Amino acid sequence: MKFLLRDDDTCAMTRPEDLENCYRSIWDQVPICLSVTPFRIPGRTTGVPESLLGSQTVLPLAECEPLLVFMREQISQGRFDLALHGYHHSRAEGLPEFVGGADLGAKARDGRAELERLFRRKVDTFVPPNNELSVQGFDAVVSAGMNLVNNQTRARLRTGWSRWKSASEAVLAARYALAGRLGTPFAFRVRRFPGYQQAPYQTVGPDSDLENLDAQLQACRSDGGVFVLATHYHAFSRRMRSGQTIGDGVMHLVERASGWPDVQFVDYGGLW
C-alpha cells in the first residue's frame, strides 16, 4: 500500500512555523505534499487570518522570502513535495475558483509555471480549490499537463449539473466522467488515462470520523491501493466529528500505517 499525506492551502499567508509545528515530528518519515496557491486572494474562506479577512488584494508567494527559503530547504531534504492548488483560490459568484472562475486555462498554465520558477522543480499535480472542478476546470488542468487528486466523478458546469450548453461541453463532460466509474467512487486506485492520471483521497476534517478513517485505511491496505490523506495545517486544532483534534487524527493514521511493513510513504512522484 502507498500512503500520501496531502496538506492544502500553503500560500503567502502561511508562516514557516505553521508548517513546522504540524509536521516536524514526521516529515523525515512521511513526505508532506503541499497544495500551493501562488497568487492568493484571501477573501473570507477558512484559514484566513483575521487581519486579512475579506481582503481582495493579491498576495504573491514570490514576495514571501522567509517562507520560500524554508520551503526550498525542506524540499531539498525530501520533506516537502508540491502540487498546484489553484491560482488565486478565490470564489467567483460564490463558486470555487476552478468551477466559476474565468481564464482557467491560463491560470492552470501560469500557476504551474510560477511554482516551477520559484522552486526549480517539475510540478505535475493539481489539487482543486475546495476540491471542485467544472468541466472547463477539468479541461484546463489536463491541458496544462497535470494529474489530478480529487474524487469527483461527474462534471459540473457553471450553470448546473445536468444540462450541456454545447456539443463541445458534452464531449468534455464525457471525458471527465471517465475519471470515475460512471459515477461510482474509484476507492483506492490511481486511474490512468491518455495524458493524465487521477487519484482519490480521504479527508481529515471537522466532518470526519476517526473510526471510519481507520476502516478506510485498513480497506486500502487489504486492496493494496493508494491512501491519499488530505488535511489543512491551519485546521489542526479544530475537532473532528468523532471528538479528536484534526492534528491528532492525522498523527494517529500515520502512526497506524507506520506499523505495517507493507506501507510505503510516498510523494507525488511515487504516487504517479
Q: Which of 201, 252, 176, 255 is nearest to 83 (CA)?
A: 201
Radius of gyration of the chain (CA): 18
Going by the DSSP 8-state scheme, the letter that residue 91 receives in this structure is -
Looking at residue 14, its pLDDT comes to 97
Looking at residue 183, its pLDDT comes to 37
- Residue extents of the structural domains in the chain: 2-271
Looking at residue 235, its pLDDT comes to 97
For residue 188, which phi and psi values (nearest 5 degrees)? -120, 35
All three cell numbers of 192, joined, read 490512468
Q: Within 13 Å, how many C-alpha atoms sit on residue 129's CB side?
A: 33
All three cell numbers of 174, joined, read 464525457
The domain over range 2-271 is classified in CATH as 3.30.70.1150? no
Looking at residue 153, its pLDDT comes to 54
Task: Round to whole Å and give the CA distance between 65 and 73.
Answer: 12
Q: Which residues contact 128 (CB under 8 A, 6 or more apart)?
A: 85, 86, 96, 98, 137, 141, 148, 150
All three cell numbers of 164, joined, read 450541456
Which parts of the chain register pLDDT below 50?
154, 158-168, 179-185
Task: Round to whole Å and give the CA distance between 70 and 79.
Answer: 11
